[in-house]
Every structure is written in C-alpha cells, then in structure tokens.
Amino acid sequence: MSIAQGHTALRTLDRAPTMRARVMQVVAFSLAAAAVAGLWRLPWLDIATAGVSGLLIGLLDQYTAARPALKEASDALAALIAGTVATWSQPCSARSTSIPW
C-alpha cells in the first residue's frame, strides 16, 4: 500500500456513518444485551428486558454521539435507563411467580 492509498483509506474511515449503519449499531446493542442474558440462561422475560435495555442504550449512544456534554454522562444515563426498564418489567415477572407480593 502506498502513502496515497493509505491516505485515501483513512479518509473513507472518517466519513459520517450512514443511517443504515447507525440503525444496525442500535440493533447490535439490543442483540448483544439479549444474547448475554440468554447465555446466562435467564427466563424469557429477563432476556426481553435485557434486549429492550440494550435498544434504549443504543439509542442513547446515538443521541449522545454529537453532544459532548451528554457524552460525559452517558454511562450514568445508561445505568439509569437499565434500572428503570428492569423496575418496570419487575411487576410482570412477579405475577408469574408464587410470591404473593
């Protein structure tokens, strides 16, 4: 590879991602979270909850990519999203168990 070819290859890496690439990245967040839950052999509701959390965190990642002030807080916001989704899905899981509350 010559210097000119290397420079051209680096320029192609600096392109802004297409809409398709951004959507695929968000879907990849969701699939990765659900896959980890599946590897842990969790129930289906927990796998779905992990998938929804991953989807929302992927959307958060896309939203904060162009906002430097939010990028600093993205880890805390991701934890807040995951905790909120887990809390909202907990009543559904509690109904399917034998625990009375």
* pTM of structure: 0.78
Q: Domain ranges in the chain?
A: 13-95
> Which residues 6+ apart lie within 8 Å of 2 measured at CB?
none
Q: How many CB atoms lie within 10 A of CB 63?
A: 13
Give tens-digit pLDDT for 37-83: 999 999 999 999 999 999 999 999 999 998 988 989 999 999 999 99
pLDDT of residue 59: 97
62-69, Cβ contacts within 8 angstroms, sequence gap of 24 or more: 62/22, 62/25, 62/26
pLDDT of residue 11: 86
**pLDDT tier, 99 (very low <50, low <70, confident <90, very high otherwise):** very low
